[in-house]
Structure 1
Amino acid sequence: MKMFVDVPEVYLYSQFVDFRKSINGLTAIVEAELELSVLSGTVFVFCNKGRDKLKVLYWDKTGFALWYKRLEKDKFKWPTKLNKPSLSLSEQQLHWLFDGFDVFGTSSH
């Protein structure tokens, strides 16, 4: 299933996020820590500390959309040694991440 149409950019937030945060808490992270506009259509991806859940936030011109994915087994491959708050991905890499692939290598779930 394709969730996005014409994604301008995709950013992974490199730090783990408390998943009690919803749209308002995640937009605050984007604006304060990443210093990016949440209204640009850019897709922002967040991961929990257990690395078994992802939240995806974006503005679709009518409002915010928040997607949530939880793995029943295994963990998402997530960068742990970045010196910057975010990492840019292609839309294809985002879909690979959803499918369980390591976008920084070749292993899968």
Structure 2
Amino acid sequence: MLGDISGLEKIYIVCGYTDMPKSIDGLCAIIEDQLKMDPSSSALFLFCGRRRDRIKALFREADGFVLIYKRLAIHGG
């Protein structure tokens, strides 16, 4: 099922800011180059944008990668 994270073993929060226009390939490169990890592992990787109101989640399913993008609603006052 698309987006089913119940089988994932670990969750990693990538520290620092991530360039939010990055695609699956760009995020996989961060996982490989900076974290020295395999993006195909049974893990969920979370990335945060500079404004801290955007989050991307990346994980691998049997038939390919899933990229979830969330823009948080920031309410003032």
- Structure number with the higher strand fraction is 2
- Aligned partners of 2:44 and 2:60: how far apart in 1? 8
* Deviation digits for residues 57-88 of structure 1 (CA, Å, limit 9, x no counterpart): 000121000001111215xxxxxxxxxxxxxx
Q: TM-score w.r.t. structure 1 length?
A: 0.63
Q: TM-score w.r.t. structure 2 length?
A: 0.88
Structure 1: runs of 5+ lacking an equivalent: 75-109
AA matched with 2:37: L
Deviation at 1:5, TM superposition (A): 1.7
1:53 to 2:54 alignment: yes
Which residue in the other structure is 1:10 paired with?
Answer: 11
- The count of corresponding residues between Structure 1 and Structure 2 is 73
1:63 to 2:64 alignment: yes
- Aligned partners of 1:54 and 1:3: how far apart in 2? 17
- Structure number with the higher helix fraction is 1
Deviation at 1:41, TM superposition (A): 2.1
Structure 2: runs of 5+ lacking an equivalent: none
- Aligned partners of 2:62 and 2:7: how far apart in 1? 12
- Aligned partners of 1:47 and 1:3: how far apart in 2? 21
- Aligned partners of 2:60 and 2:30: how far apart in 1? 15
Q: Percent identity?
A: 36
AA matched with 1:20: P
- CA RMSD of the aligned region, Å? 1.3
Moved over 4 A (4+): none
AA matched with 2:17: F
AA matched with 1:66: L
Which residue in the other structure is 1:20 paired with?
Answer: 21
